[in-house]
Amino acid sequence: MSDAPHAVVTGGAGFVGSHLVDSLLDDGFRVTSLDNFGSGRPSNLEHIDTSRFDSLEHDVREPFPELDGVDYVYHFASRASPTDFESHPVEIALTNSEGAHNALEFARENDARTVLASTSEVYGDPEVHPQHEEYNGNVNVRGPRAPYDESKRFSEALAVAFQQQYDVDIRTVRIFNTYGPRMRPDDGRVIPNFLSQALRDDDLTIYGDGTQTRSFCYVSDLVAGIRAFADADPAVAAGEVINLGNTHEIEIRELAEIVIEVLDADSDTVRRELPEDDPELRRPDIGRAQELLGWEPTVGLEEGLERTAEQFAEELGTE
């Protein structure tokens, strides 16, 4: 056990973080999860039964605890739900700024390789399609999504500053729309919304006319990309930023039809006003990830929806 590499995962009880914890443990790592359980759930970790895992309740806005022999830091702590953008904007802004600073300082002190979780939201409502890593984005700095979008952009700038000043190994992943088991049914993102409604045979709520597009990546594909990026040779990966997501782009109204069909739901659709600053288009250019890592997603949308719906049905009691 003492020879096992030690990874610290912030946000380890969250949707993506908990799947990342599982992947690391499966590969023999010693893993410490840091989570304040604000949006992460202890139930996402309760299945773990190994002495190589430790879960600590900790808010990344505070300095990190002292931990021994840290080799990797995966900084994934952040509220990422649109409903949280409305209810916790200050916490989000500070978690993504102060939290990133504390995580990067902790990694520097431990000489640990770091993966910083950024987001496709740094591109805002993009005027370039698909979005590639060199695109600087189109972000409304005073809009309702700004506390999340701008603080994530700041965390990337801070990573660049740490690289310049301290010559540390930081790799940044811009995560596009991701879904899968362990998402909260009340998360507020479109797939949890649609699945929760369809499982109850309620009508599916479409905001706007439904022609806005998204590209949905299943969580196991995302985690595989994150792990490949973390393990890549520093000569090609240190200081890099890559997009991770699925390039299969669909309209939201088409997604609603697929969910209804996959779940055989007795549902229709209803329309509501489109929220301010909701992006019209979202699809990643993953050429850099393909070139550097040989990575691309493999789980199809229908298969991923079926897997996710199983967990939602159990949690909602609609089995």
**Angstrom distance (rounded) from CA 252 to CA 256:** 6
* CA distances (Å), origin 189, targets 64, 102, 116, 211: 30, 28, 22, 16
Can you tell me whether residue 218 is helix, strand or coil? strand
Q: Which residues contact 164 (CB under 8 A, 6 or more apart)?
A: none
72, 74, 123, 148: the active-site residue:
148
Active site residue 123: no
Pairing of strands 217-218, 213-215: unpaired
Cite the beta strand spans of the chain per DSSP E.
6-10, 30-35, 53-57, 72-75, 113-119, 170-175, 178-179, 204-207, 213-215, 217-218, 241-244, 249-251, 269-272
DSSP string computed for 13-49: TSHHHHHHHHHHHHTT-EEEEEE--SSS-GGGTTT--
Provide the β-strand partners of residue 6: 30
302's tokens: 């229908």
CB 304 within 8 A of CB 248: no
Structural element, H or E, at residue 230: helix 219-231
User: What's the helix, strand, coil split of the chain in %, to 5?
Assistant: 40, 20, 40
β-bridge mates for residue 282, sequence order: none
Alpha-carbon span 184 to 81, nearest angstrom: 9
SS3 (DSSP) at 10: strand
Active site residues: 148
